[in-house]
Amino acid sequence: MIWKDVSVTEHPFFSLSIELLLPGNVFNKNSMSFLAATIENRDIRKISETVEGGNRISAEDALLLYQMAELPLLGVLATKVRSRINGNNAYYNRNFHIEPTNICAYNCAFCSYHKKAGDPQAWEHSIDGMIDIVRRFKEEPVTEVHIVGGAHPQHDLYYYIDLIKRVREERPQLHIKAFSAVEIDLMVKKSGLSLAKGITLLKEAGVGSIPGGGAEIFDEKIRSKICAEKSSPATWLEIHRIAHEQGIPSNATMLYGHIENYSHRVDHLNRLRELQDITGGFNAFIPLKYKSANNSMSALGEVSIVEELRNYAVSRIFLDNIPHIKAYWPMTGREMAQISLWYGADDLDGTIEDTTKIYSMAGAEEKNPSMTVDEIDKLIRQAGFNPIERDSFYRPIKRNNINN
Ligand code: SF4
């Protein structure tokens, strides 16, 4: 089966009802043994038994799952792993973003966000302007600010350290998740420091964790076609390894659904799993589907939501050492985020408060992403899971204990 050829409407489950995408409606959560016994393909049956036994699958197994496993089986297997790690919980947080600029030194082919200085759609906030954004949430019980944007060609590490210190002064208890590895790589280079020293300085200024952006797809040949200029896979992994060694947790992403194939995805997941075996520092993995609006790869179109669910599921099954799989709702849309909870995801990200443009510029349905806690709670409950408001380390938050 060639995955690009499977459209939503062709998939048998879609000809019935979207509810059937919820494996719990088709198979009881405990029906694994029955299901495994009915799988005709011997290899897939063996992999299913490995997962059911709580054991790790190989990269070859992951490739077979991508190539041959049926969607309902993937949902059941992913739910098995998800339940083992996260029970019936589904997490979210109260957060907002700051995007310092969309001016970027690079020119990734899939990117709908970056602009060159002087472009009418380019923006660059001053540090004072970004502190004003923090002040807008003064009365709100937000727990995390997520700071990420273009890799600005002029600003060095000290500029960003100044920003982080100012945010810290303005709101000392706010967790600062800041800067993709690609931004860190460039700002540290511009300052003439080693990566280890640069990351130490960011931590001392107040960075509490590092987001997962910039990983794209690690395969060097594919990367040379879609984002040749920016940090190499080795550098991306090195920055996260150093951060973990310094006690800074991080997330990881994978951009998929463009010119990569299943082998490239498995290679990407495997490099993450190998690093996680050493450091244990990744909190969450976030699959990011290529969005086709307003970029130079638009002719490719987008993979179907069936493919999106397959990808969530294989990621959950394979990455047995990364605790959380995030369905980033401003990218997926609300209903897709809800359904993905049955395909391995256990985290929907946060309230966002209409503070990110990255996916709306790439054609996501959510043009002004913002959800109240009640709305997220409801989405999760409707899907059959237990909503948990979390902090940036996935510790549950009791609302009357929130410390502003
Ligand atoms: S993906 Fe990131 S690094 Fe690449 S052009 Fe866009 S903003 Fe710049």
Residues 81 and 140 in one domain: no
Give the model confidence (pLDDT) of 87-123 as tens digits. 999 999 999 999 999 999 999 999 999 999 999 999 9
Compute, in angstroms, the gap from residue 149 CA to the centroid of ligand 1.
8
pLDDT score, position 82: 97
- Is the shortest distance between the CB of 114 and ligand 1 below 6 Å? yes
Residue pair 21/340 in contact by the 8 Å Cβ criterion? no
Asked whether 352 lines ligand 1 (CB < 6 A), one says: no
Contact between 206 and 167 (Cβ < 8 Å): yes
How many whole angstroms from 328 Cα to the centroid of ligand 1? Answer: 18
- The CA distance from 363 to 333, in Å, is 11
Summarised one tens digit per residue, pLDDT across range 151-162 is 999 999 999 999
Same domain, 82 and 93: no
DSSP letter for 58, please: P
> Same domain, yes or no, for 100 and 70?
no
Is the CB of 108 within 6 Å of ligand 1? Answer: yes
Expressed in angstroms and rounded, the spacing between residue 104 Cα and the centre of ligand 1 is 6
Q: 53, 86, 119: which is the final residue of a domain?
A: 86
Same domain, 211 and 149: yes
**Residue 254 Cα, ligand 1 centroid: separation in angstroms?**
14
Work out the pLDDT band at 124, boundaries 50, 70, 90. very high
CA of 100 to the centre of ligand 1 (A): 13
* Distances 209 to 175, 179, 314, 319 between C-alpha atoms, Å: 8, 9, 26, 20
Residues 6 or more apart whose CB falls under 8 angstroms from that of 236 comprise: 181, 182, 185, 214, 215, 218
Report the distance separating Cα 202 and Cα 383, nearest Å: 39
Label residues 82-96 b or e (16+ Cβ within 10 Å = b).
beebbeebbbbbbbb
Which pTM value belongs to this model? 0.90
Domain count, the chain: 2
Last residue of a domain, one of 86, 107, 141: 86
Residues 148, 231 within the same domain? yes
Residues 279 and 345 in one domain: yes
Q: Which of 97, 115, 182 for a ligand 1 pocket mutation test, highest count of atoms within 8 Å of Cβ?
A: 182
Residues 25 and 108 in one domain: no
| Domain housing 59 | 3-86
CA distance 291 to 285: 18
Per the listing, tokens 């300085």 go with 201
Ligand 1 site, residue 243, Cβ cutoff 6 A: no
pLDDT digit string (tens) for 174-190? 999 999 999 999 999 99
Residue 104 CB less than 6 A away from ligand 1: yes
Same structural domain for residues 127 and 72?
no
Asked whether residue 58 falls in the same domain as residue 105, the answer is no
Q: What is the CA(294)–ligand 1 centre distance, in A?
A: 13
Task: Examine the domain organization and report whether 99 and 55 are in the same domain.
Answer: no
**209 and 290 fall within a common domain:** yes
Which of 66, 86, 106 terminates a domain? The answer is: 86
